[in-house]
Amino acid sequence: MKGKKAHVITYGCQQNENDSERIRGILLDMGYTTIDTNDDADLIIFNTCAVRDNAEQRVYGNIGALRNLKDKKPHMLIGVCGCMTQQQHVADYIKKRFSHVDFVFGTHAIYKLPQILYSAAEQRVFDLEEMEGIVENLPHNRESSVVATVSVMYGCNNFCTYCIVPYVRGRERSRKPEDIIKEVEGLAAQGYKEVTLLGQNVNSYSELPFSQLLNMVSEVSGIERIRFISSHPKDITNELIDTIAENPKVCKSLHLPFQAGSSKVLADMNRRYTKERYLEIIKSLKEKVPNIALTSDVIVGFPTETNEDFEHTLDVVRQVEFDMLFTFIYSKRKGTPAEKMEFALPAEEIKKNFDRLVSLQTEISARKNKALEGTVQKVLVEGYSKNNKEFLTGRTDGGKIVNFPEDKSLIGDIVGVKITNSAPWWLAGEVVTYN
């Protein structure tokens, strides 16, 4: 494959980003170089997300748009993988509808990519094999040289009634602590400063209490910051809260999806906590970690959600005052229990509720960021800002994005940035203290 060019396009969450880094690692080992455009590519791989319908429609649109390019360059291989294609009905649809797609594989088959590519040069390949184990030691071609994600567990056992993830990522499988530590040590040796431990529900990590794993990772010298995503409220322990409070390397931030404010809707979602329990966890977090930055995921318009239920979502947002929220309109997923539920509200009403939630959160985020103006924040410098190369960008301990003018190569350092300007989703400032 020497000299051939590959373009890997990623949709979805950090798990998929991490998978794409491994796909690129395998391709580089095979002799490919990786590029960021389709036109010059000899290989295009779509690593897809199935969590909502709009993500799926975007992928179909982009696959369809490649038909002409494939006609001009018949030797070019096009493949689709990831969460969408782990579903048989999607693989069947792609097979029928997009004859220019050469290969399809699911979330369990990344390690087989070389074989799949060799076979796809001869005939179309559809490989949705499921696998219970974990394949260690796949090569990894990481996006950043400063911050890295490390998967600690795969899959999900929670079966929230709206969610496709357990069907496309399989049952929970935890990596051995020694494999995780070895990976983190390798990252530290390469100069990485921050790791984010990844899993659909990291606090149901099964090899050890998750707080213990955090403490072990924090002992790796060179790693200065540790984050983790996502946590499920039903599995939050006092030990975890204490570890966030006490371990200086564990960032003072938590992403804790609450999904809905109404306890009735939470029960219909099979979330296994109530509004009261969620608020209790937040109270304990705020008591033990006073400056904790909190973020969450919320779904608006779950089928059984009424306007009265939705008021509880607004109430949670007002009480907690999250730093940031990821807000989603419910999307029906084939094969999930919620697919069969009747909608309590029409689509226009759901959209109105969604807009109310977004404007409430925008106001809270703007206010919280404004309050940081004039303060000095410790920022780990990740690299150049995507939009303006005269600026560097990094994150505060709480995970907020900070942009500031480049003055010398600070990438990889933790610097003190005085915040001079803010918006709901970012901060800006100037470096006042160096490492």
Site of interaction with ligand F3S (CB under 6 A):
12-13, 15-16, 49-51, 83, 164-165, 168-169
240 in helix, strand or coil?
Answer: helix
Is position 159 an interface residue for ligand SF4 (rule: CB under 6 A)?
yes
Q: Does 317 sit near ligand SAM (CB under 6 A)?
A: no
Contact criterion met (CB below 8 Å) for 320 and 254: no
Nearest to 414 by CA among 402, 427, 428: 402
Smallest gap, in angstroms, from Cβ of residue 170 to ligand SAM?
Answer: 14
Nearer to ligand SF4, 86 or 218 (CB): 86
Q: Which of residues 190-209 bind ligand SF4 (CB under 6 A)?
A: 200-201
Give the integer Cα–Cα distance in Å for 290 and 241. 12
- Please state whether the peptide bond connecting residue 253 to the residue before it is cis, i.e. omega within 30 degrees of 0: no
Residue 174 in contact with ligand SAM, rule: CB under 6 A: no
Around Cβ 303, how many Cβ atoms within 10 Å? 20
Contact partner, 52, from ligand SAM, ligand SF4, ligand F3S, none, Cβ < 5-8 Å per class: ligand SAM
> Binding partner of residue 159 among ligand SAM, ligand SF4, ligand F3S, none, CB under 5 to 8 Å per kind?
ligand SF4
Binding flag, residue 270, ligand SAM (CB under 6 A): no
Among 139, 166, 209, 337, binds ligand SF4 (CB under 6 A): 166
Residue carrying structure tokens 């009424």? 306
Residue 153, classed as helix, strand or coil, is strand
CA diameter of the chain: 63
List the one residue out of 302, 314, 291, 215 whose CA is nearest residue 264.
302
Q: Judge whether 426 and 402 are in contact, CB under 8 Å.
A: yes
State how far the Cα of 345 lies from the Cα of 348, in Å rounded to an integer: 8
Does 5 contact ligand SF4 by CB under 6 A? no
End-to-end CA distance of the chain: give it in Å, rounded. Answer: 43
- With CB under 5 to 8 Å by kind, the binding choice for 166 among ligand SAM, ligand F3S, ligand SF4, none is ligand SF4
Q: What is the CA radius of gyration of the chain?
A: 22
Q: Which of 165, 198, 260, 431 binds ligand SAM (CB under 6 A)?
A: 165
Cβ-based nearer residue to ligand SF4, 338 or 431? 338
Please choose, out of 69-77, 158-166, 207-215, 382-390, the segment that lies near ligand SAM by the rule CB under 6 A.
Answer: 158-166
Residue numbers at the binding site for ligand SAM (CB under 6 A): 13, 51-52, 162-163, 165, 200-201, 230, 232, 257, 259, 297, 299, 328, 330-331, 333
Residue numbers at the binding site for ligand SF4 (CB under 6 A): 156, 158-160, 163, 165-166, 200-201, 232
